[in-house]
Amino acid sequence: MNHDELQDLIKRLRLEDPNERQYVREARIILSKLLNDAADELEAQLDLLAKQQKIIRRIYAEQLPDTWFVCGEHGEKDQNNLPRYIEVCPAYGVDWSQLYERTDRTIGGMGS
């Protein structure tokens, strides 16, 4: 199963029909709890696999084509210990890299 199929399965596991009879609803509540737990576990596993994939791509960059990685840092570091510049290599074995400069612009919870 690919990522999209797993996400679709998670959504389908969480469905509930409000027009069912009472005993069916009660059974559905029990089943729904089990299915929600299964969906939560599947979602957690999917997140873990995504993180592991990222780690593997970084560790084995030389064996995976078109895997970019940070290959150097330059300049002073800020209060978050981030360097002014990072050097990014587009793939293992190439003889050039790109230099990216920190903008001090925060993206995420504090705005962009």
- Domain ranges in the chain are 3-59, 61-101
- Residue 42 CA, distance from chain mean position: 14
pTM recorded for the entire structure: 0.45
Residue with tokens 């399965």, as numbered in its chain: 9
The mean predicted confidence, pLDDT, of the chain is 82
Q: What is the pLDDT of residue 4?
A: 80
Contact 35, 12 (CB under 8 A): no
**pLDDT tens for each residue of 38-92:** 999 999 999 999 999 888 877 887 777 777 888 899 999 999 999 999 999 888 7
Q: What is the pLDDT of residue 86?
A: 96
Phi-psi region of 44 (alpha: psi -120 to 50; beta: other; left: phi over 0): alpha
Contact 85, 70 (CB under 8 A): no
Q: What is the pLDDT of residue 57?
A: 79
